[in-house]
Amino acid sequence: MKHSLKKSKESVLNNTMINFKQNLFQKVPKALAYVIFFSVIMLLQQCAPQAKSGKLKNGDLLFVTAKETGLSGAINNVTQKQKEASFDHIGIVEKENNHWYVLHAAPKGGSQKQELQYFLADQADDGQKVIIYRLKPEYQTSIPIALKKAESMIGKPYNFNYILDENSYYCSDYIERAFRDDHIFKLEPMTFIDPKTGKTNDFWTEFYKKKNLKVPEGEPGCNPNGLAASEKLERVGEL
pLDDT in tens, 12-31: 455 555 565 566 556 666 66
Q: What is the pLDDT of residue 67?
A: 78
φ/ψ of 169, rounded to 5, equals: -135, 145
Give the model's pLDDT for residue 36: 60
0.85 exceeded by pTM:
no
Which residues does 119 contact at the CB level (< 8 Å), separation at least 6?
62, 91, 102, 104, 130
Question: What pLDDT, on a 0 to 100 scale, did the predictor assign at position 137?
Answer: 98
Average pLDDT, stretch 187-192?
95
Element (H, E) at 12: helix 2-27
Question: Which of 91, 36, 18, 25 is CA-nearest to residue 59?
Answer: 91
CA 45 – CA 40 distance, rounded (Å)? 9
Angle made by CA atoms 116, 119, 122, in degrees to the nearest 5: 150
User: Is 126 or 32 the better-scoring residue by pLDDT?
Assistant: 126
Contact 194, 77 (CB under 8 A): yes
Q: Give the mean pLDDT of 195-207.
A: 92
Q: What is the pLDDT of residues 37-93, one digit of tens each?
A: 555 455 545 544 444 567 899 999 999 998 765 565 556 555 555 555 689 999 999
